Amino acid sequence: MDMPDQPAGDETCPPLPADLRPFLVRWAGFADMAAPPFTHWMPATTFLPLIINFADPYLIHAGHRPGAEAAHHTFTAGLIDRFTVVRSVGPVHCVQVDFTPAGARAFFRIPLTEITGQVVSLADLLGQDGRDIVERLALCGNWPERFRILEQFLRERILPGARQSAAVMQALRAIEASAGTARISRLAQELDISREHLTRRFSAEVGIAPKAYARIVRFENALQQLQDGSDNVAAIAHGTGYADQAHLTREFARMAGTTPGQV
- Is the pLDDT reported for residue 8 higher than 80? no
Instruction: Examine the domain organization and report whether 107 and 36 are in the same domain.
Output: yes
Count of domains forming the chain: 2
pLDDT in tens, 86-96: 999 989 999 99
pLDDT at 178: 97
Rg (CA), the chain: 19
Q: Do residues 145 and 177 both lie within one domain?
A: no
Specify whether 117 is located in the same domain as 176: no
50-81 tens-digit pLDDT: 999 999 999 999 998 999 999 999 999 999 99
10-12 and 39-42 as β-strands: parallel, antiparallel, unpaired? Answer: unpaired
pLDDT for 5 equals 40
Asked if pLDDT for residue 2 goes beyond 90, the answer is: no
The domain that holds 85 is classified in CATH as 2.60.120.10
The predicted-structure confidence for 227-246, as pLDDT tens digits, reads as follows 998 889 999 999 999 999 99
Average pLDDT of every residue of the chain: 93
Residue 83, C-beta contacts closer than 8 angstroms, at least 6 positions apart? 41, 42, 43, 44, 62, 63, 254, 255, 256, 257
Kindly report, residue by residue over 118-167, the tens digit of the pLDDT.
Answer: 999 999 999 999 999 999 999 998 999 999 999 999 999 999 977 888 99
Same domain, residue pair 182 and 110: no
pLDDT score recorded for residue 10: 83
246: CATH: 1.10.10.60
pLDDT at site 35? 86
Residue 100 belongs to a domain = yes
Q: Give the burial class of 135: count Cβ atoms within 10 A of its Cβ; 0-12 exposed, 13-18 middle, 19 or more buried.
A: exposed
Q: What's the confidence (pLDDT) of residue 100?
A: 97
Is residue 105 very low, low, confident or very high in pLDDT (cuts 50, 70, 90)? very high
pLDDT score, position 236: 95
CB atoms within 10 A of CB 259: 13
What DSSP designation does 90 have? S
Q: What is the mean pLDDT of residues 183-210?
A: 95
pTM: 0.92
Q: Work out the angle at residue 246's Cα, subtended by the Cα atoms of residues 242 and 248, and round it to the nearest 5 degrees.
A: 40
- Check residue 9 and give its pLDDT: 61
SS3 212: helix
Instruction: Write phi, then psi, for 80 (nearest 5 degrees).
Output: -150, 140
Question: 157 and 209: one domain?
Answer: no
pLDDT at residue 147 in the model: 98
Rounded to whole angstroms, how far apart are CA atoms 16 and 4? 17
Domain that holds residue 48: 3-161
Among the candidates 140, 161, 182, a domain finishes at: 161
What DSSP line would sit under 149-205, residue for residue? HHHHHHHHHHGGG----HHHHHHHHHHHHTTT---HHHHHHHHTS-HHHHHHHHHHH
Q: pLDDT at position 75, please?
A: 98
- pLDDT at residue 214 above 90? yes
What gap in Å lies between CA 158 and CA 22, rounded to an integer? 11
